[in-house]
Amino acid sequence: MERLREKKILIMQAPQGMIDRGICALWLEVSGEGFERIHYAPTDSAVHRQQFVNHEFGHMILNHKKMIMPADRVALLAPLIPMNAIVSALSRSSFTDEEEALAEAIGDELATILRKDAALSRREAETGFGQIL
């Protein structure tokens, strides 16, 4: 995915304020950083966590446009990211619109590919999507 995006993608657990507002995952860019971020809701399940990330990868693959994030949503990332540094973001809190449904479908396909690639990935073989994380 990083090769496709031509930049590093930092994947990390979301801050509590984001979780409290019902945001499951967030894809964003920060001014002055040469990478993109994906924040995901905490979960004990590695499969669930990967699905949050796969969903955001789905948005990237579909070239969904991020938007300028409202100040109240940016504040949920404080103190991790200064309010004036967010360039654009796409947050996930709804599953009812078409873009979200498409990103989820792509995320499901990516999960299937990852499962198929798992054995080869453990042997450090180059296996398509299995090498992105």
The answer, yes or no, to whether the previous bond of 15 is cis (omega within 30 of 0) is no
Does the residue 132 lie in any domain? no
Does the residue 87 lie in any domain? yes
104 by DSSP, 3-state: which? helix
Q: Domain tally for the chain? A: 1
Structural domain containing residue 46: 2-127
Rounded to the nearest angstrom, the gap between the alpha carbon of residue 115 and the centroid of all alpha carbons in its chain is 19
Does the residue 50 lie in any domain? yes
Cα separation, 38 vs 30, in Å, equals 11
User: What DSSP letter does each residue of 12-68 carry, written as one string?
Assistant: EEPPHHHHHTT--EEEEEETT-SEEEEEE---S-HHHHHHHHHHHHHHHHTTPPPBP
**Phi, psi for 94 (deg, rounded to 5):** -135, 150
Per-residue pLDDT tens for 77-113? 655 665 555 555 555 555 567 887 888 888 888 888 8
Model's pTM, two decimal places?
A: 0.69
Q: For 54-81, what is the mean pLDDT?
A: 74
**H or E element in which residue 71 lies:** helix 71-75
Q: Decide if 11 contacts 38 (C-beta within 8 A).
A: yes
Does the residue 15 lie in any domain? yes
**Is residue 2 pLDDT above 60, yes or no?**
yes
- Residues with Cβ within 8 Å of residue 64, at least 6 apart in sequence: 90, 99, 103
